[in-house]
Amino acid sequence: MEHDLSRVVDALPGLVWTALPDGRTDYLNQRWCDYTGLTLSQACDFGWYAAIHPDDLEGLLATWRASVASGQPGEAEARLRRHDGVCRWFRFSTAPLLDADGRATKWVGINTEIEDRKQAEEQLRVSEHRFRSIIDGLPANLMLMTPEGVFADGNRQMMEYFGTPFEELRALPVDAKIHPDDRPELMRRWGHSIATGEDCDTEARFLRADGEYHWFRTLGVPLREDDGRIAMWHLLQMNIDDRKQAEVLLAGEKLVLEMVATGQPMAGILDALCGLVEDTISGGYCSIVLIDAHAARLKHGAAPSLPKSFITSIVGRPVTVESGPCAMAVHDGRQVIAPDLSKEARWADDWLPMAMAHGLRSCWSIPIPACPGRVLGAIAIYYDQPKTPTAADQAVIEQIVHIASIAIERAQSDAALKRSEAFLAETRRLSSTGGLSKRMSTGEITWSDEIYRMFEFEPGVPVTLDLIMTRVHPDDAFTFKDMLDAQQLGNDYIHEYRLLMPDGATKYLYVVASAGRDQDGELEYIAAVQDVTPRRLSEEALTKARSELARVARVSSLGALTASIAHEVNQPLSGIITNADTCMMMLDADPPDVRGARETVRRTIRDGNRAAEVIARLRALFTNKDAQLETMDLSAVAREVIALAMSELQRNHVVVRYEFANDLPSVTGDRVQLQQVILNLLLNASDAMSGIDDRPRQIVVRTERDAGDAVRLSVEDAGAGFGPDVADRLFDAFYTTKTGGMGIGLSVSRSIIASHRGRLWAIPNDGPGATFSFSIPPRPKGAVDAGRQGVTATPAASDPGRSFSNSVSKR
């Protein structure tokens, strides 16, 4: 029976042994001996220790002693060395053998190989470790939640973000770390997923360990059992704070730029910028200061969240490093960071105590740059606790400053443009100037409102050439059409024409047009049109007054020329009388001297013609009539005047010497007006020498070429001359150095010469006396005598309508 039992034990699929309570073995089955390679005698007592892995023996014995002490079955795991030296894992299971009294007299044990299970467990452990390393290395928070939505586990990233111990985190309400503003919506959606088993996708802010909230996108996916029941929820949280910040910045930038584009007030734009800063950098208060036009002082921009008393204390501060961080940032053109105002030594005299009194404890001031070397102002961010900007803060600040620079510079440019447009519109209104464009390819004409007012058409009425021609003065229609033909050449031009209004009134328009190309490369004219009617009427009135004044000046010289006139008239009259007497004597002779009488009659006719010419010149000089343009020799004109005034000059003991140049170019002008100027200069020269007795009273009349082929006439006297104190006043109206003089001669003379496109001036001689000269341009090539297209002697020298309209010219 015992033999059979031994055979049964040896056949068991395990290593069987028995041992006494002290650990000494007294039996080991054959399988045990075969596996370990130890004989029964070697393994009995404590010899079995040799088959146990040294690292596992102490733990195995401790478990054995505990089982013996408790009298209860026990289990342990240890590695058993095989006969070939390889150690493999076994489970040691023991149970007590009790006597009749229930005492354990012996322990029976069986060792079951668990090497495969151990290897599987090790592989699982390695796999779990690898998986945990991957999970913990994810740049996202991973949470495991129970089917009821209770926190169960999380990865290292999540634990570090929340900074709360695991057990404490499990004890917190599930919404404890969610931003209060985001909590209701997130919990509503999470509750819906718990109830329906649907995936959850939400965005909300979660509290970080340092007290800052960051935006996360949370994706919740259920893990289901084979039967479909939810075993666990996997929640993946991805930090989207940068994206949200970019969205806020983009939305803020869009809002600000829309405000700029729609012409919103600068104050509203700056308030929006401050709001953008406060929404992006949490916990701060933003202000914006600008600088005045002289870049010398700060002025308020915006500060929606700061006390007014603090704002007013900043406004007007000089832009210096001592005035505060904003002024320093503007002055130096660099960022000024004051992370802890309680430890700050700068600005201690003024700004710092004021800022501390308002509860501010840190300040970051950043200049707002424009073009290189120019600063628009500064953005300041204040905190009620010490704070240093992080790299993320600096990135946001750079973006905000960039947006602010664009917005402020654009707003200021738009404001300046609006002011300029308002000034231009008012200037156009005051100067009666409008603008137009004409596209030559289509004939499309666009007018400003001012031109509609000039033509007295309803604003917005389509402009056509036919419509314009209904207002063009009939006398100017041909020249207006000439202007239209000239437009085809693509040259800039100037044109003047008149309008005849329905009420019969006449308007005078002055057009300056510039040719260019439109966006399609087609010829386009841009023109400025000015209503010069008031100026034109004033010029005509002035011309009339000047003509009257010139005539008065001529008449006033009549008294001075009385002796000369009498001499010039009496001399041919005396000749006529003498010749008549002689003729009668010859006819009374016997026989009559007919040949002599005929010759005497010819001399009588000659003297009569001479008297008629003198009277004609006098009438031309003193008659009030419009100027007549003609081509003339200036030296010949001077001779005529000298001859007329010679008797008066001789009466004053004045000697006249001529120095007339040969081959001078002809000049175009009004002969009578030029004679008046020369006569005035001669009489003035004679008067200037009336008190001279110590030297000859001599006048030199000289003609010569001047610069640009102009012709100069000079009258040089030997009188008292003039001093530098009166040189600038000689040609002023009503200024005179003569007793009884009216002071209009030289003023009128200068106006006449100016109307001939010339100039009149005076210089003192090196010796006694002075020289008065005038210079006028030569006759234009191709000019026609008495024509209307050359220089007009005065604004009234030709018909105002005809001369006004005929003025198309290239520029």
In this predicted model, which residue has the larger pLDDT, 559 or 674? 674
Greater model confidence, 312 or 191: 191
d(CA 76, CA 90) in angstroms, rounded, equals 8
What 3-state DSSP class applies to 482? Answer: helix
Residue 198 to residue 66: CA distance in whole angstroms: 52
Order of strands across the sheet that contains 87-98: 25-28, 15-19, 104-113, 87-98, 74-81
Contacts of 59 (CB under 8 A, 6+ apart): 76, 78
Nearest C-alpha neighbor of 678 from the set 765, 758, 567, 734: 758
- What whole-number distance in Å separates Cα of residue 660 and Cα of residue 518? 58
**One fold for both 245-418 and 626-776?**
no
Bridge partners of 75, per DSSP, are 93
Give the pLDDT of residue 181: 92
- Cβ neighbours of residue 239 closer than 8 Å, sequence gap 6 or more: 139, 140, 214, 215, 216
List, edge to edge, every strand of the sheet that includes 444-447.
444-447, 433-439, 523-531, 506-517, 493-500, 809-810
Confidence check: pLDDT of 134 > 60: yes
Amino acid 119: pLDDT: 86
Topology of the domain covering 138-239: Beta-Lactamase (3.30.450)
Please state, in angstroms and rounded to a whole number, the distance separating the CA atoms of residues 713 and 270. 71
Quick check: pTM over 0.85? no
DSSP assignment string, 381-392: EEESS-----HH
* Mean pLDDT along residues 706-726: 88
Higher pLDDT, 721 or 179: 179
Return the residue matching tokens 């006529």.
576
* pLDDT for 433 beyond 90: no
Which CATH number is 2-120 given?
3.30.450.20
Paired tokens of 756 = 């001939």
CATH code for 245-418?
3.30.450.40
What pLDDT was estimated at residue 803? Answer: 41
Question: Alpha-carbon distance 635 to 711, whole Å?
Answer: 10
Structure tokens at 636: 């010949």
pLDDT tens digits for range 577-620: 777 778 787 777 778 877 877 887 887 887 777 677 666 656 65
Question: Has residue 791 got a pLDDT over 60?
Answer: no
CA-based nearest residue to 401, from 348, 465, 335: 335
Contact 298, 290 (CB under 8 A): yes
- Looking at residue 787, its pLDDT comes to 36
State the pLDDT at residue 545. Answer: 62
Give dist(CA 420, CA 415) in Å, integer.
Answer: 8
Listed by start position, the domains of the chain span: 2-120, 138-239, 245-418, 427-531, 626-776
Q: What pLDDT score does 734 carry?
A: 61
Residue 550 corresponds to which amino acid? A
What is the rounded distance in angstroms from the CA atom of residue 404 to the CA atom of residue 410?
10
The tokens 């026609």 sit on which residue?
Answer: 784
- Can you tell me whether residue 297 is helix, strand or coil? strand
CA distance 808 to 193: 85
* 433 token code pair: 């100037």
Radius of gyration of the chain (CA): 60
CATH tag, 427-531: 3.30.450.20
- List strand residue ranges (DSSP E) for 534-691, in order: 629-632, 655-660, 667-670
The first and second tokens of residue 473, run together, are 């003065």
Helix (H, G, I), strand (E, B) or coil at 367: strand
Bridge partners, residue 496, by sequence: 510
ω into residue 54 within 30 of 0, thus cis?
A: no
Contact 230, 195 (CB under 8 A): no
List of residues 6+ apart from 423 with CB closer than 8 A:
none
Would you call 86 helix, strand, or coil by DSSP?
A: coil
Q: Which residues touch 75 (CB under 8 Å, ≥6 apart)?
A: 63, 91, 92, 93, 94
Q: Give the model confidence (pLDDT) of 92-130 as tens digits.
A: 999 998 888 888 888 999 999 998 888 888 887 877 777
Res 489: pLDDT: 84
Q: What is the pLDDT of residues 491-502, one digit of tens each?
A: 898 989 999 999
Looking only at the bridges linking them, the beta strands covering 655-660 and 698-705 are: parallel
The answer to whether 143 touches 158, Cβ cutoff 8 Å, is: yes
CATH of domain 626-776: 3.30.565.10
Spatial contact of 681 and 725, defined as CB atoms under 8 Å apart: no
The pLDDT, as a whole number, for residue 569 is: 63
Please give the structure tokens belonging to residue 749. Answer: 């003379």
